[in-house]
């Protein structure tokens, strides 16, 4: 980890190793960064994290998703849950890096085109070219936003995926079109729950869910089938999609209710969560 200047002394940037070193006894600020998939921690002038359990509860209460996932039963958080969260963090970090690289490449390409076109032009022509450049940028931004809106499926689930499609994240909370107003999908994380999603990676699925939601296997199959069909239509071949419906029934699939890994029980009052057996 390292501090940065100015707001500097007030921010600690986290490395991938910092995230991997997090355990259930880590400071709440690091647990929150892990949960939110953020690569920084706010600190005071003495470099002590400003977030603590008391101030968090005062500001967000006992029903907050992070509180229910990490703070309400911090002593019993398992390695399985922490590892699943770390995998999600690293996947989202990869998506952010890919997005930033793509935007940088687009910017460099447009700059090269502009510099070439400005050669041997007089001042009026240059002004016209600059105006044209601004108009083209506005059109690209609009098209990018429309493309991102298209990544909402018919059920209004936001879907993020890596360029090679080895990582797919499907948010199970429904979004409306008003939420899709940013030019960067990674900025949506402040507006959607990180406790109700599917994380598909390394040919396995981690499912995170929370209180007052339900998981219907048929709905999940329908959701994945729609995603596979969308990729098939865009690539004209199913071989380009690494996802099959069989992955849902794989023994490696994990379902977490808040931070509790569901391993099955009978629906009787003495069993946690009153659950039917998972077969």
Instruction: Find the angle CA(139)-CA(142)-CA(147) to the nearest 5 degrees.
Output: 125
What is the structure's pLDDT at 228?
Answer: 77
Interstrand relation of 159-161 and 260-261 (parallel, antiparallel or unpaired): unpaired
Distance CA 208, CA 259 (A): 8
Separation in Å, CA 117 to CA 105, 112, 239: 18, 9, 41
The H helix count followed by the E strand count for the chain is 7, 9
pLDDT at 111: 80
- pLDDT score for 199: 96
Concatenated DSSP letters of 69-89: IIITTGGG--HHHHHHHHHHH
Q: What is the pLDDT of residue 272?
A: 57
d(CA 279, CA 276): 9
Separation between Cα atoms, residue 90 and residue 34, nearest integer Å = 10
The per-residue pLDDT string of the chain (279 residues; one tens digit each, 9 = 90 and over) reads 554 445 555 889 999 999 999 999 999 999 999 999 999 999 988 889 999 999 999 999 999 999 999 999 999 999 999 999 999 999 999 999 998 898 888 888 888 877 777 666 666 666 676 777 777 777 776 666 555 544 566 667 888 989 888 899 999 987 765 554 443 444 455 568 899 999 999 889 999 999 888 888 888 888 888 877 776 655 554 445 556 667 777 888 999 999 999 886 655 555 555 555 444
The 3-state DSSP class for residue 159 equals strand
Tokens 């499907």 correspond to: 170
Q: 193, exposed or middle or buried, with CB in 10 Å at 0-12, 13-18, 19+?
A: middle
């Amino acid at each position: 980890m390292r501090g940065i200047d100015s707001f500097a002394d007030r921010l600690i940037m986290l490395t991938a190793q910092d995230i991997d070193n997090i355990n259930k006894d880590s400071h709440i600020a690091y647990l929150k960064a892990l949960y939110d998939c953020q690569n920084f921690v706010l600190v005071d002038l003495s470099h002590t994290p400003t977030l603590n359990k008391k101030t968090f509860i005062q500001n967000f209460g006992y029903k907050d998703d992070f509180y229910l996932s990490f703070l309400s039963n911090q002593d019993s958080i398992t390695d399985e849950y922490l590892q699943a969260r770390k995998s999600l963090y690293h996947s989202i970090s990869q998506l952010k890096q890919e997005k930033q690289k793509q935007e940088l490449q687009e910017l460099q390409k447009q700059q090269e085109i502009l510099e070439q076109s400005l050669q041997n032009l007089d001042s009026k022509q240059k002004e016209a070219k600059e105006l044209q450049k601004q108009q083209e940028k506005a059109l690209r931004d609009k098209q990018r936003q429309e493309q991102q809106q298209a990544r909402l499926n018919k059920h209004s689930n936001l879907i993020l995926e890596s360029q090679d499609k080895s990582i797919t994240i499907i948010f199970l909370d429904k979004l409306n079109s008003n939420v899709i107003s940013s030019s960067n999908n990674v900025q949506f994380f402040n507006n959607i729950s990180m406790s109700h999603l599917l994380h598909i990676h390394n040919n396995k699925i981690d499912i995170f869910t929370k209180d007052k939601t339900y998981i219907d296997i048929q709905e999940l199959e329908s959701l994945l089938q729609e995603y596979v069909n969308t990729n098939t239509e865009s690539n004209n071949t199913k071989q380009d999609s690494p996802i099959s419906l069989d992955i849902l029934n794989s023994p490696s699939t994990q379902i977490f209710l808040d931070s509790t890994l569901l391993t099955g029980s009978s629906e009787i009052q003495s069993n946690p969560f009153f659950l039917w057996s998972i077969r």
